[in-house]
Amino acid sequence: MSPHKLVKPGEKKTPLKDLSHSNHIPPSVKENVLKVLDAGSLYRYDVADGKTSEVSLLEKEFAYYVKAKYAIAVSSCSAAMYMALKCANVQPNDKVLMPAFTFTAVPSAIVHANAIPVLVEITEDYVIDIDDLRKKIHPDTKVLLLSHMRGHVGDMDKIVEICKENNVFLIEDAAHSLGVLWNGKQTGTIGKVGCYSLQDYKIIKSGEGGMFVTDDDVVAAKAIIYAGSYETYWSTHLLKPEIMEEYQKIIPTFNFRMSNVTAAIVRPQLAFIDERIKQHNQIYFNLVHILSKSKYIKLPKHDSRVSKVFDSIQFRLLGFKTQEIELFETLCNQEGLPIQLLGGKKFNARCFWNWHYFKNIYECPRTREILNSSFDMRLPLSMKKEDIENVGNTVTGIIDHICAQNK
């Protein structure tokens, strides 16, 4: 196929597919939701004797998939992260480390827990900078809330070692990394707690929703109560009664419960995760084959110990001035590519300099520089071979167009 070049008004070109939509919902989801609606039991704890609720089934099946001892279904990944901070016994003004590149939900959870976010630089591969992490750990550091943003995973062996050496409670924000493995182990199960998202653009989705996983009995007991269990409803979670009875009296509940309808949307999708991973990765590598031919595009390196899920792509533009970077984004959007400058837009929720709801202790100049030259685009499963070629050739064509203008 010939390159998808910028054309003058009136000239014909192959239209780009709309890539802004998330992945489709399989028919089995509709069948399962209707079954739950017909039964009429929408509340997770409204279960007849001898029956198991849809939420409880999801918790059991999700825990099995990620190989965790416990999974607790909640209303969002944000709720799961907040619960994790409470389970870590974070107190007002405690310092919580986190990567400077993540979504605003992460520092928001820390602030809602009355703690202080401490930002750590990232590398060019969009993972936490180990050297900067070591520098910023102090005796009063309680927690590392580690985001695997866009599924990029840092050196978990070193991170776990650092946390153990400094008695730091490791929480994994695995919102973007369900299915991503570190040395064969599911991300989200390496730290003390893992938090997953079921928001619309994730590999399995329910519009909103989250999962909290842990292997720790006490953490699980606390989380079940924080999530909204009361009286003896905790008995459906299969923990020892003496543990639940102890913490039920001293922990205040929230209402972060998931409904049976949400669980009914999620459960059938578990069977499709591995196949979706294969499809996403095929799309990614076919696109990379085209983009890697441009000397101006820098793609992140991937650690061989990580089994990735490439449901999106990130890359940097090398040798481009700020004005040229902004022009690249504008021209891509004009061509129908929903590509986003990670450091762009006044209200971008992924830019740490837009988080004005807490006082940032550290400026992170390297992260700022990386984000201000990095682009992000989702890769939906609807992309076919022609779509991949069109996207790749449009991106490289726009780069060539900008370079030609500057000669």
Q: How does pLDDT run across 197-248, given as a tens digit for each residue?
A: 999 889 999 999 999 999 999 999 999 999 999 888 888 887 788 888 888 8
Q: Where in the chain is the domain with CATH 3.40.640.10?
A: 27-271
DSSP three-state, residue 278 = helix
Nearest CA to 81 out of 180, 169, 15, 157 is that of 169
Q: What is the pLDDT of residue 15?
A: 64
Supply φ then ψ for residue 280, to 5 degrees: -60, -45
User: Which regions of the chain are under pLDDT 50?
Assistant: 1-4, 7-12
Q: What is the pLDDT of residue 2?
A: 38
Provide the CA 158 distance to its chain's centre, in angstroms: 21
Q: What is the pLDDT of residue 237?
A: 83
Sequence-separated (6 or more) residues with CB below 8 Å from residue 323 = none
Contact 127, 161 (CB under 8 A): no
Sequence-separated (6 or more) residues with CB below 8 Å from residue 378 = 19, 20, 22, 201, 311, 312, 338
Phi/psi class of residue 365: alpha, beta or left (left: φ > 0; alpha: ψ in -120 to 50)? alpha
CA angle centred on 314, ends 292 and 306, rounded to 5°: 90
Q: How many CB atoms lie within 10 A of CB 279?
A: 17
pTM, two decimals, is 0.94
- CATH among 3.40.640.10, 3.40.718.10, 3.90.1300.10, 3.30.43.10 for 27-271: 3.40.640.10
Helix (H) or strand (E) holding 211: strand 210-214
Q: Return the residue matching tokens 């102090």.
A: 138
Which alpha helices (DSSP H) does 113-250 contain, by range? Answer: 130-136, 156-165, 217-227, 241-248
What is the rounded CA–CA span in Å between residue 214 and residue 223? 10
SS3 content of the chain, % helix, strand, coil (to 5): 40, 15, 45
- CATH among 3.40.50.2300, 3.90.1150.10, 3.40.50.720, 3.40.50.300 for 272-405: 3.90.1150.10
Q: How many CB atoms lie within 10 A of CB 241?
A: 11
Question: Can you give the C-alpha Rg of the chain in angstroms?
Answer: 22
Which alpha helices (DSSP H) does 43-114 contain, by range? Answer: 54-66, 77-87, 105-112
> Quick one: DSSP state of residue 311?
S
Q: Return the residue matching tokens 């006044």.
A: 346
**The residue count for the chain:** 407
Q: Where in the chain is the domain with CATH 3.90.1150.10?
A: 272-405
Q: What is the largest CA-CA distance in the chain?
A: 76
Q: How many CB atoms lie within 10 A of CB 371?
A: 24
Q: What is the pLDDT of residue 318?
A: 95
Q: What is the pLDDT of residue 346?
A: 77
Q: What is the pLDDT of residue 13?
A: 57
Nearest CA to 366 out of 314, 316, 329, 323 is that of 316
Contact 67, 186 (CB under 8 A): yes
Contact 102, 147 (CB under 8 A): yes
Nearest CA to 78 out of 192, 223, 197, 228 is that of 197
Contact 199, 77 (CB under 8 A): yes
